[in-house]
Amino acid sequence: MTNAANAIAGLETADGTPLKAALARALRRKRMRAVLLVMPLFIFVFLTFLYPIGLMLFRSIDNPLVSEHMPRTVAALKDWTADDLPGEAAFAALTQDLEDARKSGAAGRLATNLNYQTGGLRSTITRTARQAGKLEAPFKEKLIEISPAWGNIETWATIKLLSDRFSMVQYAAALDRKYDIHQNVVPLPEDQQIYVTLFMRTLWMSIVVTVSCLLLGFPIAYMLASLPLKHSNLLMILVLLPFWTSLLVRTTSWIVLLQTQGVLNDLMVFFHIINDAGRVQLIFNATGTVIAMTQILLPFMVLPLYSVMKTISPTYMRAAQSLGAHRFLAYGRVYLPQTLPGIGAGCLLVFILAIGYYITPALVGGQDGQMISNMIAFHMQKSLNWGLAAALGGILLVGVIILYWVYNKIVGVERLKLG
């Protein structure tokens, strides 16, 4: 080996370059070409996927408004213990900060930000900011006269809580928790706890949709895999047909089918399954959401199952039966285990899609069929509490990652087959 290496090291190209150096240069050029070919895809994935996720996670802990626009108040409250109202210096600092915020146009955003944590502070901040420039010492009595909220320890505790730019305040709110005046995490009152319930409902409905898709999709995929190719291709078009129809159209069509005066209830009344007075409410609740989502996500279960079943040779079943196994025993012991990669891939795909679904629950869910994605959209579009929306999305992302990790431990990602 040493002699061969020495012989290669002594070889040169036609222009006198050592062969080893020429090969290394050629490999570098190939790697550079490969990197340049992949770079557009990487940039696209980064800009449309990785960067938005990173920005969402950053926004969920970033809260710069109080530290930027109330620096004097933050400094005055640094050693405040929340046992009593702060001193005159804190009230004077607050007056100056609110006057500066009004001049810079930040008072409204500052008031909205504080109001997310403690209701009623928006009007307090805006009213005080309008009059701050006219106030003179002593400030404590005059501020409390403008708004009694300045005589409440909770108001000052909220300012101190949000004085740190990076905090977990939004994640506490996303888990139905809050910080008390001493910055201890405590549960919200029961009548204000909504997000954990929504998370549990989202998880439960996603599991139900996944199981429903598996029960319906498995026999369909088995039939497609068992039929001759010309027949299975024709039926596959029917499976793919929903993809060629607008999601909005498919979702709203379920409203026509499932409403109390809809097609399904009319058929049950016609066949005397129910009477006209006993029509079933199948829409604008969790039942309607599960039915609609199952139909929409069913192809995502069928396709992975079909791709795996198509590779299973029918000779395995015949061999098992020829060795004395009953048909059902051969199916359960020989055929079914070979479909596990498709089952795992289909369930993972459907569950991840279901857990973040928005349009269908928004249209057919009603109050009982809303999922956490609808609340995220609410905070993004209406309440404009983007920090809380980002925290809810971050928790949802962590849940999906945990699911993927569990799937990898139980089944193994290397066995994942999507087609």
- My answer on whether 245 and 126 are in the same domain is no
- My answer on whether 235 and 277 are in the same domain is yes
Range of the domain at 360: 195-415
Residue 298 lies in a domain: yes
Strands 177-179 and 185-187: antiparallel
DSSP string, 18-69: BHHHHHHHHHHHHHHHHHHHHHHHHHHHIIIIIHHHHHHHHHHHB--HHHHH
- My answer on whether 26 and 94 are in the same domain is no
Residue 417: per-residue pLDDT = 59
Question: Residue 7 contacts by C-beta under 8 Å, 6 or more apart in sequence?
Answer: none
- My answer on whether 69 and 199 are in the same domain is no
d(CA 216, CA 238): 15
Residue 279 lies in a domain: yes
CATH code of residue 320: 1.10.3720.10
Residue 182 lies in a domain: no
In tens digits, what is the pLDDT along the chain, a chain of 419 residues?
A: 455 555 555 566 666 667 777 788 888 888 898 888 889 998 999 999 899 999 989 999 999 999 999 999 999 998 888 889 999 999 999 999 999 999 999 999 999 999 998 888 999 999 999 998 888 888 899 999 999 999 999 999 999 999 988 999 999 999 999 999 888 999 999 888 899 999 999 999 999 999 999 999 999 999 998 888 888 888 888 888 888 888 888 888 888 888 888 888 888 888 888 888 888 888 888 888 999 999 999 999 999 999 888 888 888 888 888 888 788 888 888 888 888 888 888 998 899 999 988 888 888 888 888 899 999 999 988 888 999 999 999 999 998 888 888 878 877 766 665 55
DSSP 3-state of 123: helix
Residue 9 lies in a domain: no
Count the domains in the chain: 3
d(CA 418, CA 342): 7
d(CA 206, CA 355): 5
d(CA 370, CA 364): 9
Tokens (6 digits) for 61: 């802990």
Residue 176 lies in a domain: no
Residue 328: per-residue pLDDT = 82
Residue 247: per-residue pLDDT = 83
Residue 418: per-residue pLDDT = 56
Residue 9: per-residue pLDDT = 55
- My answer on whether 288 and 346 are in the same domain is yes
- My answer on whether 374 and 230 are in the same domain is yes
d(CA 295, CA 288): 11
d(CA 30, CA 34): 6
Tokens (6 digits) for 320: 């098992």
Residue 227 lies in a domain: yes
- My answer on whether 71 and 57 are in the same domain is no
Residue 235: per-residue pLDDT = 86
- My answer on whether 122 and 48 are in the same domain is no
Residue 280: per-residue pLDDT = 86
Residue 58: per-residue pLDDT = 93
Residue 258: per-residue pLDDT = 87
Residue 170 lies in a domain: no
Residue 77: per-residue pLDDT = 92
Whether the bond into 138 is cis, omega within 30 of 0: yes
Residue 292 lies in a domain: yes
Residues in the chain: 419
Residue type, 331: Y
Task: Tell me how many helices (H) and strands (E) the chain has.
Answer: 23, 2
- My answer on whether 262 and 285 are in the same domain is yes
- My answer on whether 144 and 206 are in the same domain is no
- My answer on whether 80 and 56 are in the same domain is no
Residue 306: per-residue pLDDT = 92
- My answer on whether 307 and 200 are in the same domain is yes
Q: Which of 27, 43, 61 is the last residue of a domain?
A: 61
